[in-house]
Each structure stands twice: as C-alpha cells, then as structure tokens.
Structure 1
Amino acid sequence: MRHIRFCVLLLLASCTTVGFHRESVRESFEYGKMKTIRICVWKDENVSPERMNYLFDSWNEELVLYNLQAKVSQVKDWKRPGWTGRAIMEELYSAELPEGCDRILALAGFKASDIAYEFASYILALFLIPTFEVLGAVDSPTGSRGFVLAHTASLGHLITGGASNTIVHEGYHLLGCGHSFYLSECYGQIQKLKTTADIAGDSFFPVTHPKSGFITSRRELNYFFLGR
C-alpha cells in the first residue's frame, strides 16, 4: 500500500500546470468580441467523432472566458506513429498548415504501449526512478500545433483530470501561454493575441513569433516550419 501511495505522488509531481485562475485579474482585462480559432484535427483511427466533439466542448467551456471558440475546420484520418509523443511532434513539425486552419491538433488514440509504459513506470518508481507520462504537447516556438491523448486510459491521466483537462491545458499553449503557478500573465497574452487578430483580419488567427510579437499569416508560419 505504501508503494502505491508513493507511485501516486510521483504521478502527481510529474504534472505541470499552465496556472490557476485569478478571477479578479482575469476580469480586469478586455477580450473584445467573439473570435473563432479554426482547428485542423488529425483524428486517430480509434478516436470517434463523438469523442472529438466531447473534447472540443470541454475546451470551449474554458475559451468562452475570453470570447473565443475553437471550431473543427477540417478532419484528417490519421494513425498515431511510434511509441512516444516525440514521434507525434516530429510529424507535426513537418506538416503544412492547410488553408482555412489556424492550428493543427492531433487527437492521439489509446495504444497498448500506453499501458505497458504505465506499468514500467510503477516498477521504476519502486527504485526511486521518476518517469513522466506525456499526455499532450504543443510546439514551443509558435504554439501552432500539438497533440493530446484523447482517451483517459491510465491512472496518471485520471489523477490529472483526464483527456478533457488535457485539451484545456494544451489549449492554453496553443494561445502562446507557458507554465506558471497563476494564469495572470496568460490573460495579458490572450488579450494581445486577440488585439493582433483584430488588426490582422479574419483570414488567420495569429500565433506567437519565436523571437517576439506574432506571426499573422499562414504563409509566414508555413515558411518558418518548412522553409517554403
């Protein structure tokens, strides 16, 4: 029993957060009119349309705080590569953002390797070797593409709130927010992003520029990743 409690603590320690809400700070910002972020979804073969819609509903419950809405613009049938999140991100980094989309989000389905990894992490925990279960990720330079594990299939995932919490977490990264204890800085980031979107127009919802400011066109973003 002591070992089980220890494993749970390790799983909790491996969870990072984009921050907790501070309502008084959030309400001090103006977020303007409602804006839509168009998402190209890569849907794994064992992720149902109902599951996809459920996750987007969870995400939009959070986005409404900022007068934002995530809308599925295109759905691509996709098969999750490799055993780890790294293989998914490598594929995302080489992908062109299609016309009519502002972000790419891969919904990775459950694989038997996920359970194997979880059991291996429990064994390693007995020897005080920490492991970290990657439930989702977003590219750091721009926050324009990422993935989430679409099914809650492990104890660690359940403890951290499941897939519906993961998509909210990664959704903040898709808005250019980093990790922090509170979301205070993120509120300002979202306000700047929306102000830039108002100036740039409706053809593309901006992403963070890796140096400073924002990338305001799909063409510029694709050039950054693909060089063309």
Structure 2
Amino acid sequence: MFSPWISRPFFLLFAIPVFSCTTIGFHEETIRNSMAFGEEVSFRVCVIKEKGVDEEDVTTLFQAWNEELRYYHLKAEPKVLAEMERPGFYGSDILDYLLSYPMLDSCDRLLYLKGRTWGDVFFEIVTLGIFAGVGLKLEVQGAVEGKTNTKGYIKAKYISTIQLLFTSPKSTLIHEGYHLLGCGHQLWMKECYERIRDVKSLLNDPKRDPNFFPVITTSGKKILKRPI
C-alpha cells in the first residue's frame, strides 16, 4: 500500500511502467462501489489451446479472471474447443487466425492460449538482452482484436526471464479480459466501469441476439450479434 502523503503525480511517475504491463488502469473503488452492475450474468468463452497448456492451467486462469469479474457481477465460463499447433510465431499470426475462425453458437468470446516452445525461449533471451541493453521491452503477452473485441490471445505459459518482472499469465488474462468487455487503456478505471455497465445494459436491447453476450468495442460500436 502506498503512503497517503504521496501525491498522485509523484505516484504516477513511478507506477506507470508497472501498471501499463499488468492491468488496464488503476482501480477507483469508491467510484466502482457507487455503480450498479445489475445481477450476475455468465458469458461463454471458447478456448483454443496449444499443447502443454492443460485443463488445470485453464481452470487456474479462469479462477483468477472470475475473481476480478466479481466486481461487475460477471462470470466467464470456459469451454475448450480444441488443441492445436500455433498458426504462426507472432501474435499477429494468431490474431489473423482467430479473425477467420468462425464464432460458434456456443461461444460469446474466443480465447487462444499460447504455450511455450523452444523458439519462444530463444526469443525471450534475445528480448531480455535488448531490455537490459536499451530498456526496450519487446515481448507482447496478449492482445485482443479491435474490430469486435470478441477474440484474443494470451501467453498462458511463461515461467522465467523478463516476463515475470512485469506480469503473469493470470494478470495477462485479466488485462485482456477487460479488452474482451470493451475497455480500452486508461489511467483510471472509471471509464472502464462505465463501459462494462453499458455492455450489461445491452442485454435488454431488443436488437440483441438473445444467445450472445454483447460488447461495445473500444471505438464505441455496439456488437449485438455474434460476429463471423
């Protein structure tokens, strides 16, 4: 806990490098607790995982995410669709793959869980050297596509190097989970709280597909029907 005498600008100077890698913004409990998020609602997250990511990993990750979602009376229910080889080395390859992957009727969101290969280990070592040399962190732990905010991936396996100085698979899922609910990046969480509240209000929209949990994208577009 930070001492109360620390001013907000001084606090931000030292906190920004950490928060930008681990969460979507700083929580504002007073504001969050004053907002009404309605009754508890579940949404279905279909999972594609790589070899080495087992059922226990999925359970542990979703337990952490659901602890965060309790603030908003939400619950993410995982459903493993398949285990597969990675469609490409880079995160952009995974996102391209997901964009062309059809969203099944049993899915509200699509999440790819990336494992850890020897190629990843080598890349981690290289990026660690770059970070140590020039202070530039090149590794990306996860991402969500911005067209519908319904599909994304995270690194579900990393246990060493520079990664654990900043984040973990659990915090990465929480971070990308906010994007899957339509939140962008902000310094303080008020705007994100409002976005989640507004997303839940869409459950009563007569234009919504009743078999789909909606979202409002980071650009403000309402997604009321399951994307292709």
- What pairs with 1:213-228 in structure 2 (closer than 5 Å)? 213-218=221-226, 221-222=227-228
1:43 corresponds in structure 2 to 49
* CA gap 1:125/1:71 in 2 versus in 1, 3 angstroms: closer
Give the match for residue 87 of structure 1. 93
Equivalent residues of 1:109, 1:151 under 8 A apart = yes
Counterpart of 1:143 in structure 2 is: 149
Residue type of the partner of 2:196?
Answer: I
Give, in whole Å, the separation in 1 of the partners of 2:132 and 2:168. Answer: 24
CA distance in 1: counterparts of 2:147 and 2:194, whole angstroms: 18
Deviates more, 1:41-50 or 1:152-161: 152-161
Using the alignment, how far apart are the partners of 1:183 and 1:102 within structure 2?
A: 24
Matched, 1:115 2:121: yes
Structure 1 residue identity aligned to 2:86? R
Counterpart secondary structure, 1:15: helix
SS across alignment from 1:155: coil
Q: Per the alignment, in what secondary structure is the counterpart of residue 167 of structure 1? A: helix
> Residue type matched to 1:65 in 2?
Y
Q: Unmatched 5+ residue regions in structure 1?
A: 1-10, 223-228
* Contact preservation (8 Å) 1:110, 1:151: yes
Q: Please give the residue correspondences for 1:49-128 in structure 2 after superposition, counting only pairs within 5 Å.
A: 49-125=55-131, 127-128=133-134
The CA distance in 2 between the partners of 1:13 and 1:171, in whole Å, is 15
Q: Bigger shift: 205-214 or 56-65?
A: 205-214
Other-structure match for 2:14: none
TM normalised by structure 1 equals 0.84
What is the correspondence of 1:197-216 to structure 2 with a 5 Å cutoff?
A: 197-199=203-205, 200=208, 202-209=210-217, 212-216=220-224
Is the 8 Å Cα contact of residues 204 and 216 (structure 1) preserved in structure 2? yes
More displaced 10-residue stretch of structure 1: 156-165 or 190-199: 156-165
CA distance in 2, matches of 1:142, 1:75: 20
| Residue 210 to residue 162, structure 1, CA distance change in 2 (3 Å) | closer
User: Conserved in 2, the CA contact under 8 Å of 1:16 and 1:179?
Assistant: no
Q: Percent identity?
A: 36
Going from structure 1 to structure 2, the CA distance change for 1:65 and 1:127 (only over 3 Å counts) comes to closer
Residue in 1 that maps onto 2:4: none
Q: Over residues 49-101 of structure 1, what are the superposed CA-to-partner deviations in whole Å (9 max), with x where a residue is unaligned? A: 01111001010000011000000134222222222111111101111100111
Match of 2:195 in 1: 189
Q: Aligned in 2, Cα 1:153/1:80: closer, same or farther, shift over 3 Å? A: farther
Q: Runs in 1 of length 4+ with deviation above 4 angstroms? A: 11-14
C-alpha distance in structure 1 between counterparts of 2:199 and 2:20, whole Å: 29
- Structure 2: runs of 5+ lacking an equivalent: 1-16
Cα distance change on mapping 1:212 and 1:182 into 2, 3 Å: closer
RMSD: 2.1
Structure 1 residue identity aligned to 2:223: I
- Change in Cα spacing, 1:129 to 1:24, as seen in structure 2 (3 Å) is closer
Distance 1:125 1:27 in 2: 39
8 Å CA contact retained: 1:81, 1:87 = yes
1-side partners of 2:167 and 2:124: how far apart?
17
